[in-house]
Amino acid sequence: MNSHTETDFEPRFGFKRPPDTCWVRFLDPRFQPSGVPGGWMALPFETLIHMDLPRKLLISENRVPILSLPAYQDTLAIWGGGGAATLLARESWVTDRKIHYWGDLDCHGLFIYGNFKAIAPGTKKFLMDEDTLLKFSTLVGSYKDRLPPAPKSLDHGETALFNRLASEQLRLEQERIPHKYVLAKLEQHGFEHICQDSHLGLEKGKISKNSVSTTLDETGLN
């Protein structure tokens, strides 16, 4: 996402400043603009305001997880670009939708989520909880970055997790979580997968219950 401040080059030298933009991926083909392979594109905020957009938003701290997702009904994935997600939270077309925020499971990720939640209180976190940390403990790393303060918008459980991550300097990067587990949890959170494999004999736009059950079994969710 591109954002600007008063110290930018353009206003200092009298040039017109480019509009704030964000990278999005239309996971529902029905909303995807024509001529955009994979639905991945950068759009100005002012353009998005006037577009017919999905009702569900999945905002990701990092770009790679978005690019690896399959199609989901009525869903737009947005690359929050770290702290720039706070700018996104102030957009009216964002706050009136069902929002999930997915970032690294560390203090910085919860800090960004908390700041977003302070502006858009209905925002739900995705795979940023104690259960995820414990389930993939072997994938957790450590770091020595300067830690941000715990946002006041975090609830009691989120604050306790933030404090643990801070005291033990733990980090679970979102890209390290197994892809099958991510897909299974997305469906648990109400994201409806669009099956586009015609050779399976499944109707486009319908969920394959057998495939979901298999995925849940493989990831230990059942």
Is residue 71 situated within a structural domain? yes
Read off the pLDDT of each residue in 58-76 and give the average, rounded to a whole number.
96
The tokens of 206 are what? 């319908």
Whole-angstrom distance, CA of residue 103 vs CA of residue 117:
13
Is residue 2 situated within a structural domain? no
Place of tokens 């736009």: 205
Q: Show the beta-strand stretches assigned E in the chain.
A: 21-26, 40-44, 56-60, 75-79, 98-102, 124-125, 141-142, 170-171
What is the β-pairing status of strands 170-171 and 75-79?
Answer: unpaired
- The predicted-structure confidence for 193-209, as pLDDT tens digits, reads as follows 998 643 333 333 443 33
Whole-angstrom distance, CA of residue 24 vs CA of residue 45:
11
Read off the pLDDT of each residue in 78-99 and give the average, rounded to a whole number.
83
- The predicted-structure confidence for 100-123, as pLDDT tens digits, reads as follows 999 999 999 999 999 999 999 999
Is residue 4 situated within a structural domain? no
Domain count along the chain: 1
Domain of 209, CATH number, reads 3.40.1360
Is residue 177 situated within a structural domain? yes
- pLDDT band, very low/low/confident/very high, at 8 (cuts 50, 70, 90): low
Is residue 35 situated within a structural domain? yes
- The predicted-structure confidence for 122-177, as pLDDT tens digits, reads as follows 999 999 999 999 999 999 999 888 899 999 999 999 999 999 999 999 999 999 99
Domain span including residue 77: 9-219
208, amino acid identity: S
Is residue 120 situated within a structural domain? yes
Is residue 3 situated within a structural domain? no
Whole-angstrom distance, CA of residue 124 vs CA of residue 102:
9
Is residue 166 situated within a structural domain? yes
- pLDDT band, very low/low/confident/very high, at 211 (cuts 50, 70, 90): very low
pLDDT of 14 over the 80 cut = no
Q: What share of the chain is helix, strand, coil (3-state, %, to 5)?
A: 40, 15, 40
* Alpha-carbon torsion angle 57, 61, 66, 69, nearest 10: -80
Mean pLDDT of the chain: 84
